[in-house]
C-alpha cells in the first residue's frame, strides 16, 4: 500500500501558470541568495550569460555532491542487489533509433513570428472574453487535443486552434454566467497574433563525430542516462553475477533541447540524472512499482524536505511516455506549483525488446528455476539531481525576524548542507585566531568545516545562516581561561558552552539525532 498518493488529476495548465506568475519573486530570492553565497552562478556571465545554463559554485558543488552521494549510498552501497555503472554520454546513434527517441521524443512547438518567443503548444493558454460582461479568463489546449490534431492534419495552424476552441468544454462565464464566446489567440509575451503552426520539435541535441561533419557521423548527446544501462545489461549480468530481481544504477549528465526552459534549475537543457533500472520477472511489475514509488518518496523525505510539500502522483494514461505502461511522479510543491522531481515508471520489457530487435547482439536473462531465457521487465526510478538540489534550497529558505532583527536562513539538513561547522575567533587578537585554527584543523578531519575570521561576529553568523551551516564554534576570551568554546545551533540560534575537546563528539551526536 503506497502512502501519500494522490488520485490522478487532470492538469490545469492555466491554473498552473497563474501560480507561476504569483510566486516568481520567491524564486528570484533563491537565485539571488545562490549567487551571493556561491551556490549557483549564471553560466558564462561575463559574456552576458547563456540562457538557462547554470554553474555550481563552491558551496553549490559541495551540496550537489552531498545529494549525489546520499543517492548513491541509498541506492547502491547500502543494497546487495543493486550495482552501479558509468556509461559514456556519446552512444551509437542506433541506440536512439532503437529506444524510440528519434521517432517519439518531441514536443509540439509554436513560435511567435513577431518577438520570436517559443512555446509548447500544449502549454499555451488563450484568453476567452465574455461578450456580455467583457471580463476574460484563460483556457488552455490540453496535450491530447493538440496531439490529436497533429495526428490528423500533420500540423495545426492558428485557425485550426481557433476552431479547436469548440472542442474545449465551454463553461459559463465565472463572473456573469453568460456563455463565453470569443477567443484571443495571442502571443503571451508580446501580444501579437502572429503565431506559427505547431511543429514537432525533437528534443535531442545532434552532434557529429570526427572532423568531417557529414550525416554519416551524426550522433546525439544522450537525453537520458537509462539507455547506457540497457545496452550494458548482459555485460553487467555476466560480470556482477546478479539474479532477478536486481538493479543497475547510474548518475550522469543528460541533455535535452527543451523548448521552454525556466524556473531556475528546474528545467534546463543540460542537467544531471540519477537513474536506477530494476530488472524483474514481468509478472511482478505492480509489486515493484509500488515498492520503488514509496522508497523514492521516502528518500526525498530523508533529505529533510518537509513531508507536506511532497506527494506521489499517478500518471493519467495520456501523460505516459512512449515506453511506459504505469508511472508515479514524486512531486514537490514549489512556489510555481506542484512539479515533478522523479518519475517511477513501469517500462515493461520495451527497452530490452527494442535493443534485441535492432542490435547485433541479443540480451536476455537465463531463468534457472524455469530453465529458459527470458527478457526481464523493468521498473525505472529516474530523478534529476538539479531538481533535488533546487528542492532542498527552496524548502530550506526562511526569512525570519528574531529579536527585532531580520535574517535569511537556509534550514538545510546537516546531511545536505555544504558546510557542517564554521569556526569563528571572536576577535582577531590575543591568540584567539591561533586556537581557533587548531580547533578548525581537528574538525576538518571529521566534517566539512569553514574558518571565518572576517567582520563582526554577528555578520559572520548571518553569512553562515545563509549558507545553511548547521553548527558554529566560537572561540572567545573565556576559551583562554577554561578551554571551552560556544556551540551555536543555526535554527534555534542557541549557544551552549562546551569543553573544546568535546566539539567533535557533540557535533557527531547532533548529526546522528
Ligand atoms: P518533465 O515532464 O518535467 O519534462 P520528464 O517527465 O520529461 O520531465 P523524465 O524523462 O522522466 O522527465 O526524466 C526524469 C527526471 O529527470 C525528471 O523527473 C527530472 O527530475 C529530470 N529532468 C528531466 N528533464 C529535465 C530538465 N530539462 N531539466 C532538469 N531536470 C530534468
Question: Does residue 113 sit in the same domain as residue 190?
Answer: yes
Q: Is the CB of 267 under 6 A from ligand 1?
A: yes
Question: Does residue 381 sit in the same domain as residue 289?
Answer: yes
Residue listed under C-alpha cell 528542492: 391
| Three cell numbers, residue 119 | 512555446
Q: What is the residue-averaged pLDDT of the chain? A: 86
Task: Please write down the long-range contacts of 474-477, taking CB distance under 8 Å and 24 or more positions apart.
Answer: 474/423, 474/424, 474/425, 474/426, 475/423, 475/424, 475/425, 475/426, 475/432, 475/435, 475/436, 475/439, 476/426, 476/432, 477/426, 477/430, 477/432
- What is the chain's length? 513
Question: Does residue 85 sit in the same domain as residue 182?
Answer: no
**Cα 384 to middle of ligand 1, angstroms:** 6
- Give the integer Cα–Cα distance in Å for 324 and 336: 27
Q: Which of the 8 DSSP states describes residue 370?
A: T
With H, G, I as helix, E, B as strand and everything else as coil, classify residue 359. coil
Burial of residue 66 (number of CB atoms within 10 Å: 0-12, 13-18, 19+): buried
Per-position DSSP letters for 209-245, written without gaps between them: -SS---GGGEEEB-S-SHHHHHTTHHHHHHHH---SS
Question: Does residue 24 sit in the same domain as residue 78?
Answer: yes
Q: Is the CB of 120 under 6 A from ligand 1?
A: no
Question: Does residue 149 sit in the same domain as residue 219?
Answer: no
Q: Which residue, 145, 175, 202, sits at the end of a domain?
A: 202
Phi, psi of 136 (to 5 degrees): -115, 150
Q: Are 364 and 252 in contact (CB under 8 A)?
A: no
Question: Does residue 343 sit in the same domain as residue 478?
Answer: no
Longest dimension (CA), the chain: 85
**Ligand 1 nearest atom to the CA of residue 269, by list position:** 27
Q: Is the CB of 386 under 6 A from ligand 1?
A: yes
**Any idea what the Cα angle at residue 389 is, between residues 387 and 395, rounded to 5°?**
95
Selection from 489, 249, 229, 490 nearest residue 363 by Cα: 229
- Give the integer Cα–Cα distance in Å for 99 and 322: 10
At 153 the pLDDT is: 45
Phi, psi of 186 (to 5 degrees): -115, 155
Q: Are 275 and 249 in contact (CB under 8 A)?
A: yes
Provide the domain count of the chain: 3
Q: Is the CB of 334 under 6 A from ligand 1?
A: no
pLDDT tier at 11, thresholds 50, 70, 90 = very low
Question: Does residue 246 sit in the same domain as residue 335?
Answer: yes
Q: Which residue, 181, 202, 223, sits at the end of a domain?
A: 202
Question: Does residue 223 sit in the same domain as residue 331?
Answer: yes
Half-sphere exposure of 8 (CA within 13 A, CB side): 11
Report the percent of the chain where pLDDT is more than 70: 81
CATH code assigned at 306: 3.30.930.10
- Give the integer Cα–Cα distance in Å for 94 and 357: 11
Question: Does residue 266 sit in the same domain as residue 161?
Answer: no
Q: Is the CB of 254 under 6 A from ligand 1?
A: no
Radius of gyration for the alpha carbons in the chain, expressed in angstroms and rounded: 27
pLDDT tier at 45, thresholds 50, 70, 90 = very high
**Cα 90 to middle of ligand 1, angstroms:** 19
Selection from 268, 288, 340, 266 nearest residue 310 by Cα: 340
Task: Ligand 1 pocket test: pick from 108, 251, 387 the residue with the most ligand atoms within 8 Å of its Cβ.
Answer: 387
Task: Ligand 1 pocket test: pick from 267, 297, 329 the residue with the most ligand atoms within 8 Å of its Cβ.
Answer: 267
Q: Is residue 244 part of a domain?
A: yes
Give nearest CA residue, ligand 1 atom 28.
Answer: 267
Which secondary-structure segment (H or E) carries 124?
none
**Cα 308 to middle of ligand 1, angstroms:** 22
Q: Is residue 411 part of a domain?
A: no
Residue listed under C-alpha cell 477567443: 183
Q: Is the CB of 270 under 6 A from ligand 1?
A: no
CATH code assigned at 458: 3.40.50.800
Q: How far lies 353's CA from each of 363, 364, 375, 377, 509, in Å? A: 9, 9, 7, 10, 51
Q: No. of H helices and E strands in the chain?
A: 16, 26
Question: Does residue 344 sit in the same domain as residue 213?
Answer: yes
12 has pLDDT over 50: no
Q: Is residue 2 part of a domain?
A: no
| Three cell numbers, residue 453 | 575570521
Q: Over the stretch 291-325, which tens digit does the pLDDT of each residue have?
A: 999 999 999 999 999 999 999 999 887 677 767 77
Q: Are 176 and 132 in contact (CB under 8 A)?
A: yes
Q: Over the stretch 417-465, which tens digit does the pLDDT of each residue have?
A: 999 999 999 999 999 999 999 999 999 999 999 999 989 999 999 999 9
- Domain limits for position 446: 419-512
Task: Ligand 1 pocket test: pick from 221, 251, 338, 384 the residue with the most ligand atoms within 8 Å of its Cβ.
Answer: 384
At 10 the pLDDT is: 37
Which secondary-structure segment (H or E) carries 110?
strand 106-111
Q: Which residue, 389, 411, 427, sits at the end of a domain?
A: 389
Higher pLDDT, residue 28 or 194: 28
**Ligand 1 nearest atom to the CA of residue 329, by list position:** 18
Q: Is residue 412 part of a domain?
A: no
Task: Ligand 1 pocket test: pick from 300, 382, 388 the residue with the most ligand atoms within 8 Å of its Cβ.
Answer: 382
Q: Is residue 262 part of a domain?
A: yes
2 has pLDDT over 80: no
Q: Is the CB of 384 under 6 A from ligand 1?
A: yes
**Cα 262 to middle of ligand 1, angstroms:** 13
Q: Is residue 320 part of a domain?
A: yes
Q: Is residue 394 part of a domain?
A: no
At 183 the pLDDT is: 52
Q: Is residue 401 part of a domain?
A: no
Question: Does residue 134 sit in the same domain as residue 60?
Answer: no
| Identity of the highest mean pLDDT range in 130-134, 191-195, 324-328 | 324-328
**Ligand 1 nearest atom to the CA of residue 388, by list position:** 20
Q: Is the CB of 273 under 6 A from ligand 1?
A: yes
Question: Does residue 224 sit in the same domain as residue 94?
Answer: yes
Q: Is the CB of 341 under 6 A from ligand 1?
A: yes
Amino acid at each position: 500500500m503506497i502512502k501519500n498518493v494522490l488520485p490522478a488529476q487532470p492538469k490545469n495548465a492555466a491554473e498552473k501558470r497563474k501560480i507561476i506568475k504569483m510566486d516568481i519573486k520567491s524564486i528570484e530570492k533563491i537565485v539571488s541568495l545562490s549567487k551571493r553565497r556561491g551556490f549557483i552562478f549564471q553560466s558564462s556571465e561575463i559574456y552576458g550569460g547563456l540562457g538557462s545554463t547554470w554553474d555550481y559554485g563552491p558551496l553549490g558543488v559541495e551540496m550537489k555532491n552531498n545529494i549525489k552521494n546520499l543517492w548513491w549510498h541509498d541506492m547502491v552501497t547500502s543494497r546487495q542487489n543493486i550495482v552501479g555503472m558509468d556509461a559514456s554520454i556519446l552512444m551509437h546513434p542506433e541506440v536512439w533509433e532503437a529506444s524510440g527517441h528519434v521517432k517519439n521524443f518531441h514536443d509540439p512547438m509554436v513560435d511567435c513570428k513577431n518577438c520570436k518567443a517559443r512555446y509548447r503548444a500544449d502549454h499555451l493558454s488563450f484568453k476567452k472574453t465574455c461578450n456580455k460582461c467583457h471580463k476574460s479568463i484563460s483556457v488552455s489546449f490540453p496535450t491530447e487535443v493538440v496531439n490529436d490534431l497533429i495526428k490528423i492534419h500533420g500540423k495545426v495552424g492558428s485557425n485550426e486552434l481557433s476552431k479547436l476552441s469548440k472542442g474545449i468544454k465551454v463553461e459559463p462565464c465565472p463572473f456573469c454566467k453568460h456563455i463565453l464566446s470569443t477567443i484571443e489567440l495571442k502571443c503571451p509575451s508580446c501580444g501579437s497574433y502572429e503565431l506559427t503552426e505547431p511543429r514537432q520539435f525533437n528534443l535531442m541535441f545532434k552532434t557529429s563525430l570526427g572532423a568531417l561533419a557529414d550525416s554519416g557521423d551524426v550522433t546525439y548527446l544522450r537525453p537520458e542516462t537509462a539507455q547506457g544501462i540497457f545496452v550494458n545489461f548482459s555485460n553487467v549480468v555476466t560480470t556482477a553475477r546478479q539474479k532477478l530481481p536486481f538493479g543497475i544504477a547510474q548518475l550522469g549528465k543528460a541533455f535535452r533541447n527543451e523548448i521552454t526552459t525556466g524556473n531556475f534549475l528546474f528545467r534546463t537543457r543540460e542537467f544531471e540524472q540519477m537513474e536506477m533500472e530494476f530488472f524483474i520477472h514481468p509478472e511482478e511489475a505492480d509489486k515493484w512499482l509500488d515498492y520503488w514509488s514509496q522508497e523514492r518518496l521516502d528518500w526525498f523525505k530523508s533529505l529533510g524536505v518537509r513531508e507536506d510539500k511532497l506527494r506521489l502522483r499517478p500518471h493519467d494514461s495520456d501523460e505516459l511516455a512512449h515506453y511506459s505502461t504505469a508511472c508515479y511522479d514524486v512531486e514537490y510543491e514549489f512556489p510555481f506549483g506542484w512539479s515533478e522531481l522523479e518519475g517511477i515508471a513501469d517500462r515493461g520489457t520495451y527497452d530490452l525488446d527494442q535493443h534485441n530487435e535492432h542490435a547485433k547482439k541479443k540480451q536476455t536473462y537465463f531463468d534457472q528455476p524455469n530453465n529458459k531465457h527470458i527478457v526481464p521487465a523493468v521498473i525505472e526510478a529516474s530523478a534529476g539531481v538539479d531538481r533535488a538540489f533546487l528542492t532542498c534550497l527552496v524548502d530550506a529558505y526562511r526569512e525570519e525576524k528574531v529579536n527585532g532583527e531580520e535574517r535569511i536562513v537556509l534550514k538545510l539538513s546537516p546531511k545536505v548542507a555544504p558546510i557542517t561547522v564554521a569556526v569563528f575567533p571572536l576577535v582577531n587578537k590575543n591568540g584567539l585566531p591561533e586556537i581557533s585554527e587548531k580547533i578548525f584543523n581537528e574538525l576538518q578531519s571529521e566534517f566539512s568545516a569553514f574558518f571565518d575570521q572576517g567582520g563582526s561576529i554577528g555578520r559572520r553568523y548571518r553569512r553562515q545562516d545563509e549558507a545553511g551551516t548547521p553548527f558554529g564554534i566560537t572561540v572567545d576570551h573565556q576559551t583562554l581561561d577554561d578551554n571551552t568554546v560556544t556551540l551555536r545551533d543555526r535554527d534555534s540560534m542557541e549557544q551552549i558552552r562546551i569543553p573544546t575537546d568535546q566539539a567533535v563528539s557533540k557535533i557527531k551526536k547532533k548529526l546522528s539525532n
